[in-house]
Chains A and B, each alone.
Chain A
Amino acid sequence: MWAMLTSLFIGMLFGAGLTVSQMINPAKVVSFLDFTGNWDPTLGVVMIGALGATIPGIMIAARRQTPLLGGTFQIPSRQDIDARLLGGATLFGIGWGLSGFCPGPAIAALSSGVWPVFVFVAAMIAGMLLFRLVPRT
């Protein structure tokens, strides 16, 4: 039960962070990706802030056997670089560059109630469902 409550509040904090950092705004994201245009380094600073606050959490987690609310740490253990990783990252990058939205900001931007955001999120969910048709290896 506690895990539901913490998930809700942590989601709120994540969404608030995306809002404060303006990553919820696709134009702001695209202006970071536009290196040859009027470049805006903001997204880079967001990444530095995010990494700076994530690394201590990972260091503390590494010293613990179990999460504070019980259960087990579910952390990916794969080390191999395969074609799916490279192909997936490339397709995601193209979609990100076209739209200015990655999954977190897109979902957070639903809060605006603006319908093109809903169209984007619906397309994103369609893409995720499409992936389920791809055979697992």
Chain B
Amino acid sequence: MGTGQVVVGDKRMEHFTPVSALLGGAMIGLAASALLLLNGRIAGISGILGGSLEGSKDDLLWRIFFLTGLVVGPWLVTAVRGRFPEIVMQAPLFILVVGGVLVGFGTRLGKGCTSGHGVCGVARASPRSIVATVVFFLAAAITVFITHHVLGA
């Protein structure tokens, strides 16, 4: 597999890609619908990962299978397209560490992330999820404004 497109640095990709966005989004939604209809579960990734760390034996196995699939998915797309998707991380490593801890802690405290609250929760019009989604999008946008425009990173 070619990983030549993977760049760690400050390159930016500014192109609006609505067709692949709609298609990819629909695949995510289809997956969320399928997990609910078949397994009766909400496709919230922070819940699936966090739950698997908390050692409830009954649910550990399906969570590991789901997370494995999540890692395999990009390889399937690569097999079809013949190139690995571009992954550009602009943040320096210590910022990635700080960001990772905040994402892990915050999604457990707030009981959800972009998938659980943002997609599944908003889709079922849950007031908690709608509020959480507005809050994390705002917090993220303000953070990007500060790091990119105030601090000029």
Contact = CB atoms under 8 A, between A and B. Distances in A.
A102 B113 contact: yes
Task: Determine the main DSSP class of A at the interface with B.
Answer: helix
A125 B50 CA distance: 8
A21 B18 CA distance: 9
Interface residues of A, number: 116
A57 B28 CA distance: 12
How many residues of B sit at the interface, in one of the four size bands?
A: 35 or more
A37 B10 CA distance: 15
Interface in B1-16: 3, 6, 8, 11-16
A73 B37 CA distance: 8
Given A4-B62, A16-B24, 12 more contacts: A11-B72, A15-B70, A28-B13, A33-B143, A36-B149, A46-B21, A78-B128, A79-B128, A85-B132, A107-B49, A123-B98, A127-B100
Interface of A: 3-28, 30-31, 33-38, 40-43, 45-58, 60-61, 64, 66-69, 71-76, 78-81, 84-104, 106-114, 116-117, 119-132, 134
